[in-house]
Amino acid sequence: MSHYAVALAALIVIGVIVAQDVTFAPFRQQTISQGLNGPGHVALDAAFGFLAIALVWVSRGHVALEICASVAALGLVGISVTNTAWRWVDDLAGKLGGHEKWHLMFTVIVFVGAAAFEVVGDRGALGWTSGANLLAPLIVWALTKKQDVTEKIAVALLCYWLIAWALSG
């Protein structure tokens, strides 16, 4: 059951991002994080929260996987808090814009945790996707220098990997 929760959560993340891009045109040229403080931001917060819970749930009993999932989950929750509650985070940081440093740190934590989750959770057949998760965003960034496109491709590939992994196990 927990594997299906991961697949569903990853689909929901993709669905919310696509829905925000379709219904609010400015998001098409912005990073996913902009959706955390725009119209419908609660949906993206909820999607990230559901994915965080699903990752920790599916990894229970597998120590290395649980550590990786917990790191990624911490990052997902941190991303939501630092964007949605940015004024509060700015107050904690002691300066206007202080949330941006924390947001970037949590973004890195998500991608490191997710990459580690892929390495630990790989069952062999998904190795090519893990490679694509690393190479495709780097190639897109090198060609376009567009953070929004690069980030969306990275997240889409990561969600694809999670869905394939969840349904194969």
Instruction: Read off the pLDDT of each residue in 140-161 and give the average, rounded to a whole number.
Output: 90
Identify which of 72, 71, 106, 69 has the alpha carbon closest to the alpha carbon of residue 86.
106
Q: Using alpha carbons only, give the angle 120, 124, 127 rounded to the nearest 5 degrees.
A: 80
* Coil vs helix vs strand at 5: helix
Residue 110: exposed, middle, or buried by beta-carbon count in 10 A (0-12, 13-18, 19+)?
buried
pLDDT (tens digit per residue) in 75-112: 999 988 888 887 888 888 887 777 888 888 998 899 89
Scanning the structure block, which residue is given the tokens 């299906």? 4
Instruction: Identify the pLDDT of residue 76.
Output: 95
State which amino acid sits at residue 48: F
Instruction: Identify the pLDDT of residue 104.
Output: 85
Q: Using alpha carbons only, give the angle 44, 33, 19 rounded to the nearest 5 degrees.
A: 45
Would you give the distance in Å from CA 14 to the centre of its chain? 10
pLDDT (tens digit per residue) in 42-59: 888 899 999 999 999 999
